[in-house]
């Protein structure tokens, strides 16, 4: 006779070494992470980043325009390369960082990114720059920034939108600042 134990929700399962021999092919595929979901991904497969950055979430909702999103992304790239020291997967220079034609050492790339990052924050000013930096670079949610500053969320969102428009002008990005139709 086989021993059984409760797994939760009133279900029972067989327990013991003999259960390994009863494993079905579907269970084996499931355990290996190769059972396809309707989305085409595999169960148990790495999915990368599970939480969207606040800037990406605002763009996906249509709250900010693609131009504003690109400006925030560029600031975040400069922050990650210059301040944090991260590089993109191809070790390519981001736009706004100019090379001299010779191979750049990592420190030169980081210095160029820091210069671009600081120039962007200077064009925003202290108040607007603090909001844009918190959301784009430190990936803080709008409500967290609003609570910390003691302001209403919609006011901080307005400051962020103005800052991203100014940043897009600083980076000379083309396009409209109207949020995407949705």
Residue 31 lies in a domain: no
Q: What is the pTM of this model?
A: 0.62
Could you tell me if 164 and 72 are in contact, meaning their C-beta atoms sit under 8 angstroms apart? Answer: yes
Q: Phi and psi at residue 59, in whole multiples of 5°?
A: -70, -40
In this prediction, residues 26-33 reach a mean pLDDT of 58
- Given this model, what pLDDT does residue 101 score? 57
Cβ count within 10 A of residue 45 = 12
Residue 182 lies in a domain: no
Instruction: Give residue 35's pLDDT band: very low, low, confident or very high (50, 70, 90).
Output: very low
Residue 6 lies in a domain: no
- Given this model, what pLDDT does residue 22 score? 62
Q: Are strands 3-8 and 11-15 parallel, antiparallel or unpaired?
A: antiparallel
In angstroms, the CA 46 to CA 43 distance is 9
Count of the separate structural domains present in the chain: 1
Instruction: Give residue 90's pLDDT band: very low, low, confident or very high (50, 70, 90).
Output: low
Residue of 118, 151, 4, 139 lying closest to 72 (CA atoms): 139
Q: Phi and psi at residue 7, in whole multiples of 5°?
A: -100, -10
Residue 38 lies in a domain: no
| Domain housing 121 | 54-170
Residue 141 lies in a domain: yes
Instruction: Please tell me which residue, 101 or 76, carries the higher pLDDT value.
Output: 76
Helices (H) and strands (E) in the chain, counts: 7, 2
Residue 124 lies in a domain: yes
Residue 157 lies in a domain: yes
pLDDT at 180 over 70: no
């Amino acid at each position: 006779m086989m021993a059984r134990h409760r797994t939760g929700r009133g279900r029972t399962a067989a327990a013991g070494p003999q259960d390994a021999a009863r494993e079905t092919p579907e269970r084996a595929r499931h355990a290996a992470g190769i059972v396809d979901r309707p989305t085409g991904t595999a169960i148990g497969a790495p999915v990368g980043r599970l939480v969207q950055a606040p800037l990406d979430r605002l763009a996906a909702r249509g709250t900010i325009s693609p131009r504003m999103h690109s400006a925030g992304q560029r600031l975040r790239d400069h922050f990650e390369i210059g301040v944090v020291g991260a590089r993109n997967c191809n070790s390519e220079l981001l736009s706004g960082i100019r090379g001299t034609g010779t191979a750049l050492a990592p420190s030169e790339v980081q210095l160029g990114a820091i210069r671009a990052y600081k120039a962007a924050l200077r064009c925003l000013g202290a108040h607007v720059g603090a909001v844009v930096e918190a959301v784009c670079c430190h990936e803080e949610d709008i409500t967290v920034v609003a609570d910390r500053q003691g302001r209403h969320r919609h006011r901080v969102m307005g400051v962020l939108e103005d800052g991203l428009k100014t940043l897009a002008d600083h980076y000379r990005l083309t396009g409209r600042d109207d949020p995407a139709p949705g």
